[in-house]
């Protein structure tokens, strides 16, 4: 799928030395012959991009015009227990989109454009070995009824990555051949090229949704919510397991009515086949003080919705950052109300987890 130049128009590629020696790296470089290539020692250490608060004002053009290519060094697996049983070694980091609440910029730079890892064969082999060691899933659980699930897109959006190279196609092919495992990733971008990947039920796509009026403010550079909803049936027919990711749930004036309208829209559009396999995860907003300051430099309107100290309380993250979450007692009531609304409008859509 050729992306519009307003989303991706690569002019500069930062690359680690090994990239040009790896087939996937060479494929990407050939795809962008006019881009300026700048060799760097590590995809983590690019002063212009990472840790440079001044780049916030150039947030969008950096995401549009810069690509970083590296190799994934750590092939470790982290237990998860929510979206998946394990977080697999990532094939990317960063995103061309610019959701105002995204946690990834807190960890790696500010604008944080797409970083693609070109040693996809190493990553696929590591997943296959890990799944082989596990054997069969001992018993059904809230994550899956029969297979171990690996989250593949923790730090990016694989549907956008798939427009640049075949890493995602390779991952879908991998899980098509694993008898005891399923790949999973969330997306806010509709890339219909994935309809031809033949997943055979072994890849789960979680379409991230929120009320369209909110998405227009905070889901910057993503596919419209109506387009995501319209794609669900097509992906189910193509052999994907399709779930919903209501994330983040943002509490603001009229949020209950907005979500009821969203659920009603889904109920009208979805086919019986899509409804029969549907599940959801629900994640209420967590914001971050440092990201708040960065957002004020490029998208202050979003902060009117996201930064609500009157509704939020501070909590230190494991990395020492000051995060804001909705006050516990209020969030408990709001979550119960969300579950009630979903149950009324979409009783067939079970919630796999919520927090």
The residue ranking higher by pLDDT, 4 or 39, is: 39
Look up the CATH number of the domain holding residue 75.
3.80.30.30
Does residue 56 fall inside a structural domain?
no
Does residue 14 fall inside a structural domain?
no
Give the Cβ contact number of residue 17 at 10 Å.
Answer: 12
Q: What is the mean pLDDT of the chain?
A: 93
Tens of pLDDT, residue by residue over 1-24, are 778 888 999 999 999 999 999 999
Q: Copy the structure tokens of residue 147.
A: 């297979």
pLDDT score of 192: 97
- Residues 6+ positions from 80 with CB-CB distance below 8 Å: 86, 87, 151
Query: What number is the average pLDDT over the span 163-178?
Result: 98
Tens of pLDDT, residue by residue over 277-327, are 999 999 999 998 888 988 888 899 999 999 999 999 998 776 667 899 999
Does residue 119 fall inside a structural domain?
yes
Does residue 54 fall inside a structural domain?
no
Tens of pLDDT, residue by residue over 86-123, are 999 999 999 999 999 987 765 555 678 899 999 999 99
How many domains does the chain divide into? 1
Per-residue pLDDT at 271 exceeds 80: yes
How close are the terminal C-alpha atoms of the chain, in Å? Answer: 35
Return the minimum-mean-pLDDT range out of 2-11, 78-87, 123-132.
Answer: 2-11
DSSP 102: -
Q: Is 201 left (phi over 0), alpha (psi -120 to 50) or beta?
A: left
Does residue 264 fall inside a structural domain?
yes
Tens of pLDDT, residue by residue over 55-75, are 566 778 888 999 999 999 999
What is the percentage of the chain residues whose pLDDT exceeds 90? 82
SS3 category, 164: coil
Does residue 36 fall inside a structural domain?
no
Query: What number is the average pLDDT over the span 163-170?
Result: 98
Per-residue pLDDT at 53 exceeds 60: no
Rg of the chain over Cα atoms, rounded to whole angstroms, equals: 20
Query: What number is the average pLDDT over the span 255-262?
Result: 98
Does residue 8 fall inside a structural domain?
no
Residue numbers of the domain that contains 117 = 69-354
Per-residue pLDDT at 276 exceeds 90: yes
Among 201, 115, 215, 109, residue whose Cα is nearest residue 157: 115
pLDDT score of 322: 83
Does residue 261 fall inside a structural domain?
yes
């Amino acid at each position: 799928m050729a992306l519009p130049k307003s989303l991706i128009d690569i002019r500069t590629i930062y690359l680690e030395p090994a990239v040009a020696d790896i087939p996937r790296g060479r494929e990407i470089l050939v795809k962008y012959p006019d881009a300026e290539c700048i060799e760097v020692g590590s995809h983590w250490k690019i002063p212009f991009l990472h840790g440079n608060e001044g780049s916030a004002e150039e947030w969008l053009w950096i995401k549009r015009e810069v690509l970083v290519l590296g190799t994934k060094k750590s092939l470790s697996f982290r237990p998860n227990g929510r979206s998946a049983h394990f977080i697999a070694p990532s094939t990317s980091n960063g995103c061309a989109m610019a959701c105002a609440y995204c946690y990834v910029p807190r960890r790696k730079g500010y604008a944080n454009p797409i970083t693609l890892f070109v040693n996809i064969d190493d990553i696929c082999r590591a997943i296959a070995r890990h799944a082989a060691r596990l054997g069969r899933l001992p018993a059904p659980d809230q994550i899956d009824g029969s297979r171990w699930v690996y989250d593949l897109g923790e730090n990016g959006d694989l549907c956008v990555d798939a427009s640049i190279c075949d890493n995602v196609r390779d991952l879908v092919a991998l899980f098509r051949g694993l008898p005891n495992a399923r790949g999973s990733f969330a997306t806010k971008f509709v890339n219909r090229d994935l309809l031809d990947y033949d997943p055979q039920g072994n890849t789960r796509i979680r379409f991230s949704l929120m009320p369209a009026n909110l998405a227009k403010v905070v889901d910057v550079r993503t596919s419209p919510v109506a387009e995501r909803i319209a794609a669900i049936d097509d992906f189910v027919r193509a052999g994907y397991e399709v779930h919903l990711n209501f994330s983040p749930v943002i509490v603001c004036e009229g949020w209950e009515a907005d979500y009821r309208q969203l659920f009603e829209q889904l109920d009208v559009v979805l086919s019986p086949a899509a409804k029969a396999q549907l599940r959801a995860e629900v994640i209420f907003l967590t914001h971050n003080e440092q990201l708040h300051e960065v957002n004020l430099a490029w998208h202050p309107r979003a902060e009117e919705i996201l930064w609500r100290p009157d509704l939020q309380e501070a909590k230190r993250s494991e990395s020492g950052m000051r995060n804001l979450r909705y006050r516990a007692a209020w969030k408990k009531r709001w979550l119960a109300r969300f579950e009630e609304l979903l149950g009324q409008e979409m009783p067939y859509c079970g919630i796999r987890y919520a927090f």
